[in-house]
Structure 1
Amino acid sequence: MDISTATALVTGANRGLGRALAQELLARGATVYAAARRPDQIDLPGVKAIRLDVTDPASVAAAADEARDVNVLINNAGTSTGADLLTGSWEDLRLEMETHYLGTLRVIREFAPVIEARGGGSILNILSVLSWVSLPTTGAYSAAKAAQWNMTNALRQQLAPKGITVAGLHVGYMDTDMARHVTGSKSDPADVARAAVDGIAAGAHEIVVDDLSRQVQAGLSGGVAALYPQLG
């Protein structure tokens, strides 16, 4: 895909990776809709700020009606409540699933016909290494990301005949507000955005950004024993 002639919409574009994605697309000549629940928080010159709350069906439909020229969709909007599967509130558990799984699917269902009408294009879902492996402290988030990954696998098969490539990006911790509590190694969002847009341009179905994600991916074939050796 020629990024310089693309029109892209990025959800959650007001900060972190979303902002970096919008900036990278702009730098390569794309027209960019920067979407957020509060578009007044978008401070990136050159983008078209647009309101979009992935948990609000009316908001998603309105955005799809406004952005009728989109042929690249990046589903980046997310949340991280830190909810424990056993003790976390049901509200937090539902928010994780409503945002990452149902919210992403809602946006795709509205924008896939828009992209198809443009002759095809690309959809990129920002996933996580935690869609492949879970920790006790990330149970709700990981479950929602796993659902989002499986949904990505199904939709890439359904949308391929319509000329739409569906890709998933897997990455570990990034240097963003969401991971501000993490003291270990974190990827630069600008580097992740660069890899993401490279993947879209190349027509990739899967973009695995960092060493941690590659290690976990390689361990999937080993089953529970490989991913969770502490279980004995």
Structure 2
Amino acid sequence: MTSRYAIYYCPERDTRLWQLASAWLGRDASTDHDTPAIEQLSMPQGDIDTAIATPSRYGFHATLVAPFELADHRSEQQLCDALAGFCSNYTPFTTPLEVQRLHHFLALAPVVPDPDLDMLAESCLRAFDIFRAPLSNYDRARRDTPDLSRRQRELLTRWGYPYVLDAFRFHMSLTGALPPDLLARMQSELRALFSDLLRTPVAIAGLTLVKQTDRDKPFKWIRQCSFTADNVISRQSRSAHA
């Protein structure tokens, strides 16, 4: 099976946010090690295990470039080098996050829409598309779900993923899809768990390249690159076209 790569925003591994979120998910994707259960949680472990089964495989993250197979004549080293070059043109910024209900799952998401996050996501999408192999029929069928809009199907055809550009929403998943009763109880639990950490805005200070060697395996960190530009790049108007 061909490896897949993705480009994520992940907090730096020495931050309390990374450590707490990884503990909640039961796995630290930076080390690929399981984490001890959080003792102060009041919910049954069985409910937690159900909730984290899917996001744990990906690790705590926000997707900026969705999982893709490498294009012909592109290498992992070239991808790493491109990520480092990309990050050298950005400077860190912050954004306030909170635990939100998004459809049928819970995630950390911006308190208010953040144009800097949207611009970063669009820049990543365009910069790294040259590394993406054409979407396989299997992945096309898997991502082309019945609930997609016409616009999202256009984005899927062009970019290999339907939730990009004007359909993008920055979020860091904490659960998979849950039934309404469990969703409500878990939202209360997670708001309490993250309340202290989210009193201050979260630093967006770099990007992380992750790799999945097989579809049955979890994603693991390959390289994390910090934003190192001295000055904030002037914001460019976002493109109105895909």
More strand by share: 2
More helix by share: 1
Report the TM-score when normalising by structure 2: 0.27
RCO higher in structure (CA 8 A, sep ≥6): 2
